[in-house]
Amino acid sequence: HVQLIESGGGLVQPGGSLKLSCAASRVTPEVQAMGWFREAPGKAREEIACIDRKAGSTVFMDSLKGRVTISRGDAQIMMYLQIVDLTPEDTATYYCAANFIPSHYTCMEAGHQYGYWGQGTQVTVSA
């Protein structure tokens, strides 16, 4: 069993940058995938970026590629999401998620599922 807690959100000016953190309650060597999602008011939740054991690297949403980076800490407790050149369209609640069950699907693919979610952290981009 594991708990995930996001932090680092807040009010940011357009053009600024932000680094979000996701802290797991324990070391997670068995994790299959971890990802970052966001949900804006009136819009569907969307996956931004993820790290998958099968992929062996990171995967990014096409529309955000080049503006976001995702990484894990060596202790396998922390996960980070960095966003640069923020715009008001980036305003959303951001969530981290983890999957501990081997899946036929790779993160970012339709059909892939996460079993654990954080409570979310609010990011507001406004002048």
| Residue listed under structure tokens 């899946």 | 103
- Tell me how far apart the terminal alpha carbons of the chain are, to the nearest angstrom: 41
Residue with tokens 């951001």: 94
Q: How does the average pLDDT of the chain come out, rounded?
A: 94
Distance CA(109)–CA(58), nearest Å, equals 13
Tens digits of per-residue pLDDT, 51-72?
Answer: 998 877 899 999 998 999 999 8
pLDDT recorded at residue 66: 93
pLDDT at 4: 97
- 77-117 tens-digit pLDDT: 999 999 999 999 999 999 999 999 999 999 999 999 999 99
Phi, psi (degrees; rounded to nearest 5) at 23? -105, 125
Please give the pLDDT value at position 58. 92
